[in-house]
Amino acid sequence: MSGTRRVIGVIGGSGVDRVLGDGERTMHRVATPWGAPSAPIMEGHLGDLTILFLPRHGVGHTIPPHRVNYRANVDALKSLGADSILTVSSVGSLQAELPPGTFVLPDQFVDFTKSRPTTFFDGGRVYHVSLADPFCPEMSRHAADAGARAGHSFATGKTYVCVEGPRFSTRAESKFLRGFADVIGMTLVPEVTLARERAMCYSCLAMVTDFDVWADRPVNAKEIVETMAKNVDRMQDVLGRLLPTLAGSKTCECELALESAGL
């Protein structure tokens, strides 16, 4: 990969790999101290941008959210030169004003996961990274602009609550969680935390696929898949407009995340 190109990691699911375009692709099989990532990483190019695509749940969506090797995924992208991670994720809605089909750009999260390794720093020197503002403001701003230009505007200023999964919520849990969050999903954490520990920019493009069970109708996995399929082309349109805007130099401070975090 050329050192003059900016390298962006894209983590997503079925259909999102179209961001690589029709040009030549390179497959990277990467080993990390935390094991193998979810799948080989595909490299493609878009203008002056190098894109590294990684299917979060593996080829064929075989890895459940609580078994994704998030540390290996983030570290593998970093080792291949990525300075940023852009993710596409499906979420449930906890608020009536965010119906299925809505695109959301969260700017905060709440962690309700239970058993996942959440840090690279398990020993040796200790770092306490700040997650006060967990998402890269520059990437999120570009994403909001791209959505508006594509006619698929994002709901902004929203909070994502991440739960362990793979099960869906009980009615009581759903009603409780909607008191402080707007969307619910199973994959944001620890991806976002690990990206900050690697001093990488991170932004999440979330697609609402269903109302969570607070709305009195149980969540149906088949309906979620159908809604995702309907939204793939819309999200692809946004990504096609967004990615070229990320090719320039960064002005955010994400790469300085560790400078004031070490003890």
* DSSP-based three-state secondary structure for 92: strand
Task: Tell me which DSSP letter residue 60 carries.
Answer: T
- CA 164, distance to chain mean position in Å, is 16
Q: Which of 210, 216, 233, 237 is catalytic?
A: 210
CA proximity to 193, closest of 130, 246, 143: 130
Q: Are strands 84-93 and 49-55 parallel, antiparallel or unpaired?
A: unpaired
Q: Cis bond leading into 166, ω under 30°?
A: yes
Is 133 part of the annotated catalytic residue set? no
Q: Which of 212, 216, 233, 237 is catalytic?
A: 212
Separation CA 255–CA 133 (nearest Å): 14
Q: Residue 47's beta-bridge partner residues? A: none
Give the Cβ contact number of residue 221 at 10 Å: 11
- CA 72, distance to chain mean position in Å, is 15
Give the Cβ contact number of residue 212 at 10 Å: 26
Taking phi first (over 0 means left), then psi (-120 to 50 degrees means alpha), and beta for anything else, what does residue 60 get? Answer: left
CB 197 within 8 Å of CB 176: no
* DSSP-based three-state secondary structure for 207: strand
* DSSP-based three-state secondary structure for 216: coil
Q: Cis bond leading into 190, ω under 30°?
A: yes
Is 212 part of the annotated catalytic residue set? yes
Active-site positions? Answer: 210, 212
